[in-house]
Structure 1
Amino acid sequence: MQATRALIVYCHPWAGSLNHAILGAVESSLKRDGVPYDLIDLHADGFQPAYDQKELSLFSRGETNDPLVSKYLGLLKGCDMVIFITPVWWNEIPAMLKGFIDKTMKSGVEQAYTEGKFGVIGHLDNIRKAYVLTTATSPRFYLRFMAGNGIQGLFMNATLKQLGIKHSKWIHFGRVTSASPERCKAYLTQRAEAHYTI
């Protein structure tokens, strides 16, 4: 089933990276399939991932003094599919993407979650599917079984599910530093030809 609106959350600082090429391939796929989308480019936006004292003082009220946080939450609540494009650094998502989760996921009925008796009740259930596209020097089996399972176990099956995003798919490109140009090109072709659906 085709999404009515997608959101790409892109987290990489270098335009010459494979991640940036993956972003272009995903955008090509969405355009080909006629799926409207918005793009959050955390580094290009100059997003500040760490709380300052003032913003942390607003946390308990679900408020922010960062206009990007308000913008990002609005985009999340206005889509039904989200595509994360990120490297894996030291077995987990980078600090920039972790800061995006930390700061954007505000508590409150009209926000990302509320606190229930037994934990977090997610309100991003408008997002019916999440794709998590990662690159790393480590292969997928190593990240899953030998390095703490930070992507599938923690980010997808814990954090995203807590926020109400119940269905997600992990697509990983490992051994990136030793990958041949031919292997990279083949992977980019796969990403451009793929259909991102809900």
Structure 2
Amino acid sequence: MAQVLLILAHPLEDSFCAAIAARAEAALEARGDGVDVLDLYREDFDPRLSRSERRCHYSDQPDHSAVADQIRRLRAADKIVLVFPQWWFAMPAILKGYFDRVFQPGVAFDHTPGYGQIRPRLKTLQAVLAVSTLGSARWVSALYMGYPVKRQLRRAIVKTCAPQARFRMLNCYDTEKIDAARSARFLARVEKAAAAL
């Protein structure tokens, strides 16, 4: 049994992202995992990195008190599931702010002398599953944009802070034109991926 942090970043309770998160949660619980759902909008998470938080970025004694609960939940997680839309081929500001504020030095990584390559701290994180929705077609994300969110999550965040963690990403394209049959097929893919996490 693993402890999974499921992070949802969508403002609408009846969104397809909310349905995806619910399906992933059900699949994880069905296999006996503990699931901590962090709905960033419902919990009114403030994505803005404060002046004091930024000033502490290079401090030997950083103050993480403003996000202590989120840090506790991150540290308790063996695995992470991210569910979010892509807007302008980027993650929502509230999710980016989560990474800015919670994946801080002393939490997700440590600086090295001379500020060279950073040292990962999330050494017990086993896997990350990212599931996102896009209004655009797959070819636009792949050929024109080069999968920017996948590259950011996999290379800049996961492999930097938890290089041992497996990473997988599922994208649902053309969601503004999605019908019931395609929606059901994608939710089945999410269920399978969550069950195999």
Fold shared, TM-score > 0.5 on shorter chain: yes
Alignment match, 1:168: 167
Q: 1:127 to 1:100 in 2, by over 3 A?
A: same
Distance 1:103 1:88 in 2: 20
Deviations 1:150-190, CA, capped at 9 Å, x for gaps: 12212212222111144200111000001112211232233
CA distance in 2, matches of 1:143, 1:63: 38
1:120 to 118, 121, 136: 118
1:56 alignment partner, SS class: helix
Counterpart position of 1:23: 21
Specify whether residues 12 and 90 from structure 1 end up closer, same or farther in structure 2 by C-alpha distance, changes over 3 A only: same
Aligned equivalent of 2:44 = 46
> Residue 75 in 1 paired to residue 61 in 2?
no
2:172 maps to a residue whose letter is: F
Q: Deviations over 1:34-72 (max 9, x none)?
A: 111111111111110012333333333332341xx2111
Q: Mean alpha-carbon deviation: is it higher for 114-123 or for 40-49?
A: 114-123
Distance in 1 of aligned mates of 2:149 and 2:91: 7
2-structure distance, mates of 1:123, 1:50: 23
Give the alignment partner of residue 155 of structure 2, picking from 157, 171, 180.
157
8 A contact 1:84–1:133 mirrored in 2:
yes
Q: Give the CA deviation at 1:193.
A: 4.6
Deviates further, 115-124 or 168-177: 115-124
Secondary structure at the counterpart of residue 34 of structure 1:
coil
8 Å contact from structure 1 (residues 138, 174) kept in 2: yes
Within 2, Cα distance between the matches of 1:160 and 1:140?
Answer: 23
Residue 64 of structure 1: aligned partner: 64
What is the Cα deviation at residue 74 of structure 1? 1.5
Deviation of 1:16 after TM superposition, in Å, equals 1.2
Identity of aligned residues (%): 20
* Secondary structure, aligned partner of 1:7: strand
Provide runs of 4+ in structure 1 moved above 4 Å. none
**Structure 1 Cα separation of the partners of residues 185 and 130 of structure 2:** 19
Structure 1: gaps (5+ residues): none
Classify the secondary structure of the residue corresponding to 1:49. Answer: coil
Q: How many residue pairs are counted as aligned between the two chains?
A: 192
Q: Distance in 2 between matches of 1:116 and 1:143?
A: 35
RMSD of the TM alignment (CA)? 1.8
| Counterpart for residue 140 of structure 2 | 142
The gaps in structure 2 that reach 5 residues or longer are none
1:90 aligns to what SS in structure 2? Answer: coil
Flag the 1:189–1:76 CA change in 2: closer, same or farther, 3 A: same
Q: Tell me which residue corresponds to 2:176.
A: 177
Stretch moving more, 181-190 or 72-81: 181-190
State the one-letter code of the partner of 1:196: A
Quick one: which of 98, 121, 124 aligns to 1:100? 98
Contact 2:24/2:194 (<8 A) preserved: no
